[in-house]
Structure 1
Amino acid sequence: MNKPTEAELEILSILWELKDASVRQVHERLAETKDTGYTTTLKIMQIMHAKGMLARDEESRTHVYRPLVKQGDTQKSLLKNLLSTAFGGSSKSLVMQALGQEKPSKEELDEIRAFLDNLENDNR
């Protein structure tokens, strides 16, 4: 799988949430948080289609795009790369850094504890 660029990942995140969308819909979502032109969004999505990251329904006048790459697979691939390059393969260092960036809520900490308990039970 091609590693998505930052701009491609932003578009994928929107499409994973919406399931499918026109360029206009994606652009409007991007414009909420960044200053980008419609033609830039269109060009990136066309490139992503050419790379095999997006499918394009050309039935109607307005092309509708949907992701061809799965969110979980992409996250796993990016995390594996980040873990090996930035943290020397240490899961502990990655988790400690991630948890140190923002103070997790009690609910998040409870979910993390439950996840760790499950991991520990699976390894017995």
Structure 2
Amino acid sequence: MALAKPTESELEILQLLWKKGPSSVREINDELSKAKEVGYTTTLKMMQLMLGKELVTRTEQGRFHIYKSAVSQKSMQEQLLNKFVDAAFGGQAMDMVMQALGNHKASKDELDQIKKLIEGLES
């Protein structure tokens, strides 16, 4: 089953939930506000919409609602990357890799990691 595609703002919230674990709207809003001014009610509304999209779950803890990511970081990354490769590179992963390596000078360590990944895929 395909996961709901999060908006950029929803993805920011998911990143925080993956990093921090279950959190209240206030905790997420405080973290978001470190980078840009975001109103509490805006964060609350976004998280309620995410609940409807089944991107998060919500439990009550006293008088607070605690939100938790309903999707794993790995599965979301895989879905978003697959959609990106399909849309931007016509489904050709090699074209994406060549573009990325051509636009970025990879360090020796990064190249070693890529070689290990390829070796792992071959075995």
SS in 2 for 1:97: helix
Matches within 5 A, 1:49-64: 49-64=51-66
Give 2:11's aligned residue. Answer: 9
2:82 corresponding residue in structure 1? 80
- Residue 61 of structure 2 aligns to a residue whose secondary structure is coil
Equivalent-residue separation in structure 2 for 1:16 and 1:92 (angstroms): 29
Q: Distance in 2 between matches of 1:61 and 1:31?
A: 23
After TM superposition, the runs of 4+ consecutive aligned structure 1 residues lying more than 6 A away are none
Aligned length: 121
Deviations, residues 72-93 of structure 1 (Å, cap 9, x unaligned) = 1111111111111101111112
RMSD: 1.6
Q: CA deviation at 1:34?
A: 2.5
Give me the identity figure in percent.
Answer: 46
Runs of at least 5 residues in structure 1 that lack an aligned partner in the other structure: none
TM-score by length of 1: 0.86
